[in-house]
Amino acid sequence: MRQSKLFGKTIKEAAKDEISLNARLLNRGGFVEKLMSGVYSYLPLGLRVLDKIKNIVREEMNATGAMEVLMPTLQPKELWDETGRWEGMKDVMFQFKGRGDSDIGLGCTHEEVITDLVRKRIFSYKELPVSLYQIQDKFRNEPRAKSGLLRGREFWMKDMYSFHTTESDFEKYYDEVKLSYLQLFKRCGLDAKIVEASGGIFTEKFSHEFQVFCETGEDTIHYCRECDFAQNIEICEENVGDKCPKCGGEVFESKGIEVGNIFPLETKYSGAMNACFTDKNGERKPMIMGCYGLGPSRIMGTIVEVSHDDKGIIWPKEVAPFAVHLVALGNDEKVFSSADQLYDKLVSAGMEVLYDDREESAGIKLGDSDLLGIPMRIVISNRTLEKNSAEIKMRAEENAELVELDKLLETIKE
């Protein structure tokens, strides 16, 4: 992509009402634009990042044997009355009147809709287990939506629901999803820790959160550095400095951003909504359910919160909008024609390249390159061309290296 044609130029100052670091950098870089509190447009660069995150999520969920579906955002009150959650959701769910006085809500979570879908389609133990997920924008009337992509009122969620005949089959799958979550966060460049938490509005039981330790996080976690003990303080009985209840080590505290949350639902929804299967003996039983949420847009914001420096964003490889930022410095014919050639060569080799072909000063171009945070920068200038070379620099590293143009492709591929 030629940067001269890119919609969404960088800007010097973030919009005044953006206070969070992720929103400020993403806004300056031309990744997102706020429409109103907690509601964002994704510009071409931002959409590329979001889509990459969604695709990683998709790959990892598919690898657990789950299947992707897409459920409606408009949901009828009657369905929510079956579980008695319509009233309790009033603060969170956008609820309004449709035609003919019908009550409608915008999807803030989909337990009711998926349970309805499954009870209409699955009847026998032979059809279980099944795990279904969707990647969809969700709506929640959040009271504090000042953290950029970390807390949207319209935001992206991957929500997955699994249905099982036995508790042990459920547990096996639940543990598998835990591992796949850790794997997908790692691919997104995030080090997420599994933290025990309450079940919130979903279940009376506990849940497991995936927390990325970060000072700007809203959650507080007590954890042990010697073992895997970690609890959200909303349920933790240990204080900082206490003995770890698991290994006798010490309890520490950290702020965290909740990037994912998974819940054993048992038969809460299947029982209330009569989502039953017939077992081997012909007996009807409610399905045992789990649900597994994570937020692609919050993940995007979290990556920026933990991976940046004073110059801008540092995208991890797998989620970066482009792999290479090719920058032509010097604004003369020779430089542009060499850079054009290199651009064509890289693109033909299947690389994702953003090519800064603008007539701007070196200062502006290099500054923008740091702000955008593409993992590899390749600079072509009169100075590099004197040596028939280009300069390669990784965004996350200090050192730059001159590489001969002939050897560039091999070098990059390493």
Q: Which stretch binds ligand ATP (CB under 6 A): 15-23, 176-184, 226-234, 254-262?
A: 254-262
**Nearest to 115, CA basis, from 269, 6, 9, 12:** 269
Residue 226 in tokens = 């010697």
Give least dist CB 305 to ligand ATP, A.
Answer: 13
Select the residue interacting with ligand ATP from 140, 208, 222, 268 (CB under 6 A).
140
Q: How far is CA 188 from the centre of its chain?
A: 8
Long-range contacts of 188-192 (CB under 8 A, 24+ apart): 188/53, 188/56, 188/299, 188/303, 188/316, 188/318, 188/319, 189/303, 189/307, 189/315, 189/316, 189/317, 189/318, 189/319, 190/259, 190/299, 190/302, 190/303, 190/306, 192/259, 192/260
Q: Which is nearer to ligand ATP, 22 or 95 (CB)?
A: 22
Q: Could you say whether residue 221 binds ligand ATP (CB under 6 A)? A: no
Q: How far is CA 248 from CA 5, 230, 238, 308, in A?
A: 59, 13, 12, 36
SS3 content of the chain, % helix, strand, coil (to 5): 35, 30, 35
Q: Which stretch binds ligand ATP (CB under 6 A): 28-36, 292-300, 354-362, 378-386?
A: 292-300
CA atoms of 131 and 401, how far apart (whole Å):
48
Q: Could you say whether residue 295 binds ligand ATP (CB under 6 A)? A: yes
Give least dist CB 50 to ligand ATP, A.
Answer: 12
Q: Return the amino acid letter for 246.
A: K
Give least dist CB 13 to ligand ATP, A.
Answer: 25
Q: Could you say whether residue 157 binds ligand ATP (CB under 6 A)? A: yes
Q: Which is nearer to ligand ATP, 6 or 194 (CB)?
A: 194
The owner of tokens 């849940």 is 207
Q: Which stretch binds ligand ATP (CB under 6 A): 42-50, 149-157, 175-183, 374-382?
A: 149-157
CA atoms of 127 and 49, how far apart (whole Å):
36
**Nearest to 211, CA basis, from 298, 97, 117:** 298
Select the residue interacting with ligand ATP from 298, 325, 365, 393 (CB under 6 A).
298
What does 260 interact with, of Mg ion, ligand ATP, none (CB < 5 to 8 A by kind)?
ligand ATP
Give least dist CB 156 to ligand ATP, A.
Answer: 7
Give least dist CB 316 to ligand ATP, A.
Answer: 17
Q: Which helix (H) or strand (E) holds 127?
A: none
Q: Could you say whether residue 293 binds ligand ATP (CB under 6 A)? A: yes
Q: Return the amino acid letter for 327.
A: V
Please tell me whether residue 334 adopts helix, strand or coil conformation: helix
Q: Which residues of this chain interact with Mg ion, rule CB under 5 A?
A: 261
Q: Taking CB under 6 A as the criterion, which residues in 78-117 touch ligand ATP?
A: 109
Q: What is the DSSP secondary structure assignment for residue 356, as one 8-state letter?
A: E
Q: Could you say whether residue 232 binds ligand ATP (CB under 6 A)? A: no
Q: Which is nearer to ligand ATP, 258 or 356 (CB)?
A: 258
Q: Could you say whether residue 261 binds ligand ATP (CB under 6 A)? A: yes
Q: Could you say whether residue 53 binds ligand ATP (CB under 6 A)? A: no
Q: Taking CB under 6 A as the criterion, which residues in 176-205 touch ligand ATP?
A: 200
What does 132 interact with, of ligand ATP, Mg ion, none (CB < 5 to 8 A by kind)?
none
Q: What's the CA dihedral at 358, 359, 364, 366 to 10 degrees?
A: 60
Select the residue interacting with ligand ATP from 111, 142, 360, 368 (CB under 6 A).
142
Q: Which is nearer to ligand ATP, 200 or 248 (CB)?
A: 200
Q: What is the DSSP secondary structure assignment for residue 368, as one 8-state letter?
A: H
Q: Return the amino acid letter for 251.
A: V
Q: Could you say whether residue 40 binds ligand ATP (CB under 6 A)? A: no
Q: Could you say whether residue 258 binds ligand ATP (CB under 6 A)? A: yes
Give least dist CB 211 to ligand ATP, A.
Answer: 9
Q: How far is CA 118 from CA 71, 132, 162, 327, in A?
A: 12, 10, 10, 52
Q: Which is nearer to ligand ATP, 261 or 338 (CB)?
A: 261
Select the residue interacting with ligand ATP from 48, 110, 151, 393 (CB under 6 A).
151
* Pair 136, 157: CB distance under 8 Å: yes
List residues near ligand ATP by CB under 6 A.
Answer: 109, 140, 142, 151-152, 155, 157, 200, 258-261, 293-295, 297-298
